[in-house]
Amino acid sequence: MNGQSYTYTFFGKVFPERANVKFSQLENEMKWNDNKINGVLSIDCSQIMAQYTCNSKIEDIYTFKNDIKEQIRSIVDIIGYTNGCGYDIEITSCVDSLDRQIVFGVNIADTEKFSEKRPHKVNDLFLILSSSEYQICFRRCLADLREAIRSPKDTGFFCYRGLESLRQFFANKHDLSDGKSWEKFRDELDVEMKKIIEIKKYADPVRHGGNISISSEERYKIVESTWEIVDKFIEYALMNMKK
């Protein structure tokens, strides 16, 4: 409808909450797809409220939330820079013009069944973390996968770096160069090069200080591919630990 506006109010928190971050209202304009958006952000006692008004309905609320989160994170990073503090943020929910509420989980949309796809459970992974041979590369990989979920715009960067940590295992074990270690990585885990290249495509711009847009659907595909490759490394590690 002509002249109709839509409002989306996001709520979240700055962590650690005990830091008591406070920021008076900041107004800004932005364009998102074909939408002209006016936003107002305020933070009080580490509680975030950000309201955005636009001229058409947001169809992909998850991708929109991811972009808003990165914008808010940058503002909080400025506060952290000036204070010499390290903060993080979480956007927990959104209410739209019709008072419909969306509560955001801690996962990427549609990953609720991820655990059903994993061939090995938590106790098996503990064995790898307790191994002096695999511990460092696997711990770093898991840390990057955590950040791939928590940092929407940088999902490709962290997914690829997680795989690089596992690739480094083969480089160290066989004293191989980067190129040769990637080849060994693919051969040992039976991973197609095109699968890694597809993930790398979303990592390279960020790795070199650039930017790349990524939709919620693209994030899901990247995460799913990365987790499948890590599953193969887990299988490889467990089999070799039994020898």
* Residue 154 · residue 221 · CB < 8 Å: no
**Mean pLDDT value across residues 222-232:** 94
Q: Model confidence over 12-48: pLDDT tens digits?
A: 999 999 989 998 888 888 888 778 899 999 999 999 9
Q: Is the link from the previous residue into 16 a cis peptide, with omega within 30 of 0?
A: yes
Residue 39 CA to residue 175 CA, distance in Å, equals 53
Query: What digits encode the pLDDT tens for the residues 51-83?
Result: 999 988 888 898 899 889 988 998 999 999 888
pLDDT > 70? residue 192: yes
Average pLDDT score over the chain: 89
User: If you average pLDDT over residues 211-236, what whole number do you get?
Assistant: 91
Q: For the chain, which residues make up each domain, given as ranges? A: 6-103, 114-241
pLDDT for 1 equals 41
Average pLDDT over residues 119-128: 88
Q: What is the pLDDT of residues 81-106, one digit of tens each?
A: 888 899 999 999 999 988 899 998 88
- pLDDT score for 209: 80
Distance CA 117, CA 236 (A): 17
pLDDT band, residue 10 (cuts 50/70/90):
very high
Q: Looking at the predicted structure, is the pLDDT value of residue 182 above 50?
A: yes
Q: What CATH class is the domain 114-241?
A: mainly alpha
Tokens representing 45 are 């006692």
What lies within 8 Å, CB to CB, of 134 at 6+ separation is 128, 169, 237, 241
112 confidence band (pLDDT: 50, 70, 90): low
The mean-pLDDT minimum among 12-16, 113-117, 165-169, 187-191 falls in: 113-117
